[in-house]
Amino acid sequence: MSLRHTLLIFFIAAFLVLAAGCTQPAPEHPAPETPAITMTVPFPPIPVESTDGINLAYELEFSGTENMTFMPRKVEVIDPATGEVLYTADGTLLSATLHPAAVPPPTAAEMQNGTAKLSLPRINLWFKVAPGAVPDRLTHRVTLNRTADGLSPLTVTGGDVAVRKDLSPVVVGAPVRGDGWGIIETTSPLVHHAGSQITINGVTRVPQRYAQDFIYLDPATGQVASGDETVARNYYGFGKELYAVDNGTVVYVSNGVPDIEITTEKPPATIATALGNGVVIDLGDEKYACYGHMVNGSVRVKVGDTVTEGQVIGLMGNTGNSDVPHLHFQVITGSPVVLGAEGYPIVYRSFNITGTIFEDNETATIFDQPIPQEYRLMENDVIVSFP
């Protein structure tokens, strides 16, 4: 075969291959890659009863969102055994409970020493189910709005977690005595206690998850202060005695933080000063009762002291990260570091609901008859009395 003939055959074959290739349909655009988003629950929910039902409180953390505009549109909590949607967060509720990752991210030093900046986005969840209807497990369905990336919404599922029915809340006595105690910042995903994500020693926790703030109101009038409400000492609760909620050992005391005399002149809070003057009592089993914002110089115990339930440990004041005189009370687990441990659920042995607080937290409605409660957590915005 001549060289010319060989070349002619080669060119004809090449043309046929190219022509065949040109007839294949070319994709208009490559399909967008679905991000590998992972959801986890760092601290599983422990059921705790209050007047209105069984509370389940926890956080949903996301990873794999680093290269996308992370904007959830709806979060649904599902009982996988039945398929029932137990809780839905969207709109303003979701906006208020979403905690984005910080930009720029926290430094290694910040994550070690203490920061409110997050390296991964989180959503805090708090909802109630009926007694006897606590699910064994929970899973989550999240719809992401990807309009900013020019993409359609994406729905992801995951975050499977077992509800810790094997664990029980800590039972405590009364940290205060008598009537007129308003309870705020509890049993809701919208309160600052549930939303406070703190990273210390490289681990993000919610130390105040189950905390309550106790503010004293005059039982007859429902008022919180006499005269100028910017003066801390005008509050009826300023100087009220605070009590050990159980037998235990004192493991931390702060007793030199200055009083905030004028409530409108609160200094900037830091991780180190947030508690103000306070006490931490080891209750055993790695559970610790924490008291905050006491009057400067009023703490009556020292580290190493053994206390008994009902013992006076200090006076209610206005120190640290405090807007008005009140008691901040919480139980934590795993460590006595107030902002470096996980918040643990509490139930109070006995109390009465005597009224409700209005939204301004300064006036109240007093009931004709008290409503007795035993072994329950208080609801948000109620007034209670203790023996």
Could you check whether 38-162 and 170-386 share the same CATH topology?
A: no
What pLDDT score does 6 carry?
35
In contact, 293 and 301? CB cutoff 8 Å:
no
Rg for the chain, CA atoms, rounded: 28
CB burial class (10 A; 0-12, 13-18, 19+) of residue 345?
Answer: buried
- Whether the per-residue pLDDT at 301 is higher than 60: the answer is yes
72, two tokens:
């959830």
Collapsed DSSP state (helix, strand, coil) of residue 315: strand
pLDDT digits (tens, 9 = 90+) for 86-143: 999 999 999 999 999 999 999 999 999 999 999 999 999 999 999 999 999 999 999 9
Tokens coding 23:
């007839």
Is the per-residue pLDDT at 232 higher than 80? yes
Closest CA to 185 of 224, 212, 216: 212
Q: Report how far residue 136's alpha carbon sits from residue 81's, in angstroms, rounded to the nearest whole number.
A: 8
| CA distances from residue 7 to 10, 259, 283 in whole angstroms, order as listed | 5, 98, 93
Q: Beta 346-357 vs 170-172: how paired, if at all?
A: parallel
- pLDDT tens digit sequence for 196-215: 999 999 999 999 999 999 99
What integer pLDDT is reported at residue 358 of this predicted model? 75
Give every CB contact of residue 200 below 8 A, 6+ residues apart in sequence. 111, 112, 113, 114, 271, 337, 339, 340
> What percent of the chain clears pLDDT 90, i.e. is strictly above it?
81
Sequential DSSP letters for 261-280: -BGGGPPPP-TTTTT-EEEE
Q: How confident is the model at residue 148 (pLDDT cuts 50, 70, 90)?
A: confident
Please enumerate in sequence order all residues whose Cβ is within 8 A of that of 127, keeping only pairs 6 or more positions apart, or say none.
55, 56, 77, 86, 87, 189
On whether the CB atoms of residues 150 and 267 are closer than 8 A, the answer is no
Structure tokens at 153: 């919404």
84 φ/ψ angles, rounded to the nearest 5 degrees: -75, 135
CATH architecture of 170-386: Distorted Sandwich (2.70)
- Which region holds residue 64: left if phi is over 0, alpha if psi is between -120 and 50, else beta? left
d(CA 201, CA 127): 29
Model confidence band, residue 34 (pLDDT cutoffs 50, 70, 90): low
Query: Does 66 score more than 50 pLDDT?
Result: yes
- Residue 17's pLDDT is 31
The answer to whether 74 touches 98, Cβ cutoff 8 Å, is no
152 band by pLDDT with thresholds 50, 70 and 90:
confident
Beta-carbon count within 10 A of 372 CB:
9
Model confidence at 151, in pLDDT bands (50, 70, 90)? confident
Multiple choice CATH, 38-162, 2.60.40, 1.10.1740, 2.40.350, 3.90.25: 2.60.40
Residue 14 has pLDDT above 50, yes or no: no
In the prediction, which pLDDT does 136 show? 98
Domain regions of the chain by residue span:
38-162, 170-386
Grouping H, G, I as helix, E, B as strand and the rest as coil, residue 94 is helix
Mean pLDDT, the chain, whole residue set: 90
What would the two tokens of residue 305 be? 């002291």
Residue 221 neighbours by CB under 8 Å, 6+ apart: none
Cβ neighbours around 255 below 10 Å, total: 19
Beta 178-184 vs 382-386: how paired, if at all? antiparallel
| Average pLDDT of span 356-361 | 72
Instruction: State the pLDDT at residue 380.
Output: 96
pLDDT range class, residue 363, cuts 50, 70, 90: low
Total-model pTM: 0.89
User: Rounded CA gap, 370 and 178, in Å?
Assistant: 13
pLDDT digits (tens, 9 = 90+) for 233-261: 999 999 999 999 999 999 999 999 999 99
pLDDT at 65: 85
C-alpha atoms less than 13 angstroms from C-alpha of 136 in its C-beta half-sphere: 3
Do 285 and 291 form a contact (C-beta atoms < 8 A)?
A: no
Q: What is the DSSP letter of 225?
A: B
